[in-house]
Amino acid sequence: MRRLVAETTLTTADLVAPVFVREGIDEPQPIASLPGVVQHTRASLRKEAGRMIDLGIPGLMLFGIPSAKDAVGSEAWNPDGIVQMALRDLRADYGDSLVLMSDLCVDEYTDHGHCGVVDDHGEVDNDATLALYQRAAVAQASAGADVVAPSGMMDGQVAAIRSALDGASFPDVAVLGYSAKYASSFYGPFREAVDVTIVDGGDRKGYQQDYRNGREAMEEIRLDLAEGADMVMVKPAVAYLDILHRARLEVDVPLAAYHVSGEYAMLKAAAANGWIDGDAVALETLTAIKRAGADFILTYLATEMAQVLA
């Protein structure tokens, strides 16, 4: 009876796996603060993506760690940059069997760790950054991305990327906006995963949202949709279920939630201590995110949950 009347059911089809691929390594590298998650080599990523397809996971979100970083993050649009090469590998290996999403930002590629160009005063220059995102979008689409996902929270980024994609004859490449993205301390382990330290103890409060604000998130989502976003995201997930729910009531496009690195790390740490039942808490957490309104969830739990749900 409980199964019959359940309002929300989590399935593997709801999950997107964030994955890291690193240039210049021969073996996958563990990430201490994300137990079970690794920085992949191109070869190990190809294998892992095959495993995801076998498990029924519909898509992945790709992040790259380049060997060299510079002031503008030029590896983000180098045709032979690590993410572009990995996209070509996966497209060649698996065709349309996996939705290939790529995070579109420059913070993994800049030597100062900011999501854009930094001006003489140390502030991120919003409008100068848009041109870089346009180049990265075209590079990712050319390499085989189905979905590009701008995560830098620059004003006007979705419109800029949409026009660049259309201008380069990629009208079918979708834009998933990290629309309601908060300046969050839950991203700590991710910074280790992508080897990013923001220069001078800086933060992203100048371009990501203040966690005290909720209405502002709705405005950000409306702006992204007006600019042509095909899907929108709320990030992080668990501390922002109210935002997710509000977004669900307001928009009818696909809505994503990102269960981020710190949320995963806390769950894993408590489970490793035997303080909680890891699988049960993971299932409850992801089901709650879906109940709040997400159509799909980016989560480092994707492969293990797929096994639990099988």
| Catalytic center residues | 181, 235
Name which position in 77, 190, 207, 296 contacts ligand PBG (CB under 6 A).
190
Our CB check for ligand PBG shows the closer of 12 and 261 to be 261
Which residues are CB-neighbours of 79 under 8 A, at least 6 positions away?
Answer: 139, 142, 143
The phi and psi torsions of 30 (rounded to 5 degrees) equal -65, 155
Within 242-271, the residues that bind ligand PBG by CB under 6 A are: 260-261
Listed ranges 78-86, 103-111, 220-228, 238-246: which one lies at the site for ligand PBG (CB under 6 A): 103-111
Listed ranges 21-29, 65-73, 101-109, 138-146: which one lies at the site for ligand PBG (CB under 6 A): 101-109
151 touches ligand PBG (CB under 6 A): yes
H/E/C letters for each residue in 244-275? Answer: HHHHHHHCCCCEEEEECHHHHHHHHHHHHCCC
CB of 261 to ligand PBG, least distance (A): 3
CB of 95 to ligand PBG, least distance (A): 26
Determine the length of the chain. 310
Cα–Cα distance, 298 to 60 (Å, whole number): 8
107 touches ligand PBG (CB under 6 A): yes
Contact 302, 13 (CB under 8 A): no
133 touches ligand PBG (CB under 6 A): no
Our CB check for ligand PBG shows the closer of 92 and 199 to be 199
One DSSP character per residue, 80-136 reads: TSHHHHHHHHHHHHHTTSSEEEEEE-STTTBSS--SS-B-TTS-B-HHHHHHHHHHH
Q: Is the dihedral of CA 154, 117, 164, 97 positive or negative?
A: negative
Compute how many residues bind ligand PBG; rule: CB under 6 A. 9
CB of 5 to ligand PBG, least distance (A): 34
Question: How far is C-alpha 277 from the geometric centre of its chain's CA atoms?
Answer: 26
Q: Which helix (H) or strand (E) holds 233?
A: strand 231-235
CB of 134 to ligand PBG, least distance (A): 17
- Return the biggest CA–CA distance within the chain: 64
Name which position in 23, 89, 103, 220 contacts ligand PBG (CB under 6 A).
103
CB of 161 to ligand PBG, least distance (A): 14
Give the interface with ligand PBG as residue ranges (CB under 6 A): 103, 105, 107, 151, 187, 190, 204, 260-261
